[in-house]
């Protein structure tokens, strides 16, 4: 997309009044306070003029005209820019990683699935950082099975009421650990299994507790040159980088599991974990499908629109999510050398799905659609059809080919409608 094309999209779509009805919902948490809402922009007429950086033009200004140039030159360049200015540098796997299968039940959920619990140890010590995977593989179906992999917010035992799931994690600063199955409406385990897919999940707090000082208890501390020091370089990875790193380590294990088809793993994330899924999928090409559900600012939504949650707001409220340098752009998103359409483009030519919700104004659904649209030139260069539309679709109407998109009725959440689209998308691209 060149400068004139970017401006054309800006004029035709950016100023148009939305035909959707929105409400305001904070990513992964309660409604924003009145003070927060007063500082945010929910008026399309107040979206500033902006020009998106071209995903197919290198830093030196030269255009990218071939798939090889994208692969060898522009893609590494964009990854470096996101590392330097947004998410921080992510290390490779620790050499002291160890997999331990803790339990196996071949007759879980009334015989519908084989349930496994696997612990990935990172630091070489039993009390060090670890990631506890919960795996359901479908019985009575051909193995190895394609799988959905995603982090959960409140502990593995909240994904399903299955009494065989070990209760661990998920309490955080709460007075009590959440109840079994309390998040099951977001994880339709039986539906996923009935469609022939495995489900793999883990609590994101295993990797790093979601608070400003969470790095002291998480995997980032393993890689610190001066353990315990509060000093972080401007491009040091934040919590999103740590959570994304953990997803790649989960993939390291799945490559060894005979019940999982390592070549058909779809990565999924909601809200801040949708941001995490996009960043993990951009870096790690082993994830063959990447799904972003209501990921908003720092995820699928364009930062330059300054609509709903902004770069300034997200860095002030969640200072630990991104690298320190990202804070420099809170009052000047137009100075960012990248924007989120380029993050989506980094997943090309693999299929990517971006989903929005009509009452989730905080996540800027229009900005999510426009980012997906602006990633399309990279998919075309690589011989893959993208969205196939230039205007946002009506509510509850999925569009797209290798770039999928829908906006559904309702709030910031993961619903049965969302999962129906993701399962159909995976069926199509995994050849089921």
Place of tokens 């331990």: 100
Q: Give φ, ψ of 95 to 5 degrees.
A: -75, -10
The H-or-E segment that residue 326 falls in is none
Positions marked catalytic: 271, 412
* C-alpha torsion angle, residues 81, 303, 418, 292 (rounded to 10): 10
Candidates 416, 325, 378, 427; CA nearest to 73 is 378
Query: What is the CA angle 236-240-246, rounded to 5?
Result: 100
Candidates 417, 311, 315, 317; CA nearest to 364 is 311
Candidates 129, 284, 143; CA nearest to 202 is 129
Q: Give φ, ψ of 201 to 5 degrees.
A: -145, 160
Whether residue 173 contacts residue 154, with contact meaning beta carbons closer than 8 Å, is answered with: no
Residues contacting residue 83 through CB under 8 Å, at least 6 positions apart = 89, 90, 235, 323
**Residue 363, CA distances (Å) to 28, 32, 272, 303 in order:** 11, 12, 10, 11
Which alpha helices (DSSP H) does 153-214 contain, by range? Answer: 189-194
Concatenated DSSP letters for 364-411? -HHHHHHHHHHTHHHHHHTT------SSPPPTT--EESSEEEEEESSS
């Amino acid at each position: 997309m060149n400068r004139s094309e970017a401006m054309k999209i800006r004029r035709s779509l950016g100023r148009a009044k939305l035909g959707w009805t929105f409400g305001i919902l904070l990513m992964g948490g309660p409604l924003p306070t009145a003070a927060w809402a007063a500082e945010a922009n929910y008026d399309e007429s107040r979206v500033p003029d902006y020009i998106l950086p071209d995903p197919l033009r290198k830093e030196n200004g030269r255009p990218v005209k071939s798939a090889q140039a994208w692969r060898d030159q522009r893609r590494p360049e964009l990854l470096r820019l996101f590392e330097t200015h947004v998410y921080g540098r992510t290390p490779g796997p620790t050499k002291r990683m160890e997999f331990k299968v803790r339990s196996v039940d071949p007759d879980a959920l009334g015989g519908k699935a084989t349930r496994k619990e696997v612990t990935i140890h990172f630091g070489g010590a039993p009390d060090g950082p670890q990631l506890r995977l919960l795996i359901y593989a479908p019985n009575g179906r051909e193995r190895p099975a394609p799988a959905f992999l995603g982090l959960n917010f409140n502990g593995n035992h909240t994904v399903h009421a299955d009494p065989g799931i070990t209760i661990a994690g998920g309490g955080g600063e709460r007075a009590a650990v959440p109840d079994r199955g309390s998040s099951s409406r977001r994880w339709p385990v039986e539906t996923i299994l009935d469609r022939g897919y495995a489900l793999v999940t883990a609590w994101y707090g295993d990797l790093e507790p979601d608070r400003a000082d969470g790095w002291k208890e998480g995997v980032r501390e393993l890689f610190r040159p001066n353990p315990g020091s509060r000093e972080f370089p401007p491009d040091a990875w934040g919590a999103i980088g740590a959570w994304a790193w953990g997803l790649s380590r989960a993939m390291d294990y799945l490559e060894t599991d005979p019940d999982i088809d390592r070549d058909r793993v779809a990565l999924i994330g909601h809200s801040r974990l949708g941001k995490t899924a996009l960043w993990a999928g951009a870096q790690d090409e082993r994830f063959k499908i990447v799904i972003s559900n209501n990921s908003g600012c720092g995820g699928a939504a364009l930062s330059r629109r300054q609509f709903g949650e902004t770069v300034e707001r997200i860095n002030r409220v969640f200072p630990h999510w991104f690298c320190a340098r990202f804070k420099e752009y809170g009052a000047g998103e137009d100075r960012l050398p990248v924007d989120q359409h380029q993050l989506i483009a980094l997943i090309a030519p693999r299929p990517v799905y971006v989903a929005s919700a009509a009452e989730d104004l905080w996540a800027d659904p229009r900005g999510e659609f426009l980012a997906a649209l602006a990633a399309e030139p990279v998919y075309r260069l690589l011989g893959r059809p993208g969205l196939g539309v230039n205007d946002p679709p009506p509510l509850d109407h999925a569009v797209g080919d290798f770039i999928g998109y829908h906006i559904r009725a309702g709030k910031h959440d993961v619903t049965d409608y969302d999962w129906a689209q993701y399962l159909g998308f995976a069926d199509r691209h995994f050849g089921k």
